[in-house]
Amino acid sequence: MDLDSDRDIRPRPDPTVLTTAQLDREIAHLKELMVKDQVSQQKALEVALTQMDRRLGELNELRKAVEKDRLEFVRVDVYHPAHEELRRQRITDGERMVSMQADIKANSTGFARLESSMMWLSRLVIGALILAIITYAFQRLLTR
């Protein structure tokens, strides 16, 4: 017997060789899956870009049609002055609303004072009515 062959105590078949071969097969399989995934993502991206280009083209055609219709139906020499007049009217209306709001705030204190005066006046009238009723009742009692 050979002394060198006695020293080699690795089992036959060698598990390290089998494990390495299995790892190599799994790595190759993972690489294949990653390549397929990358190819499918690339195709999906190409489809999305194609659809986006088509939609942008449709939007540009629609924008051109709208501009053409606007120029055809609304003349620029009529549109701009009317638009400017509407803008001026909106500014004037806004200023008027601000002025009205200030007037309302100023008048609200007057209304509060008037309400307070009306409340005191109603109390005074009610008091006078009660006094008149009591006086009438007292006079009726005395005349009996």
Which amino acid makes up residue 97? M
Closest CA to 47 of 59, 55, 35: 55
In a domain, 69, yes or no: yes
In a domain, 27, yes or no: yes
Residue by residue, pLDDT tens for the chain (144 residues) are 444 556 777 777 777 777 888 889 999 999 999 999 898 889 988 898 899 989 999 998 998 988 887 777 766 666 778 788 889 999 999 899 888 888 887 777 777 777 788 888 888 888 888 888 898 888 888 887
In a domain, 107, yes or no: no
In a domain, 132, yes or no: no
In a domain, 56, yes or no: yes
In a domain, 78, yes or no: no
In a domain, 57, yes or no: yes
Domains in the chain, number = 1
User: Residue 30's domain spans which residues?
Assistant: 11-73
Whole-prediction pTM value? 0.35
How far, in Å, are 22, 25, 34, 47 from residue 29 at the CA level?
11, 6, 9, 27
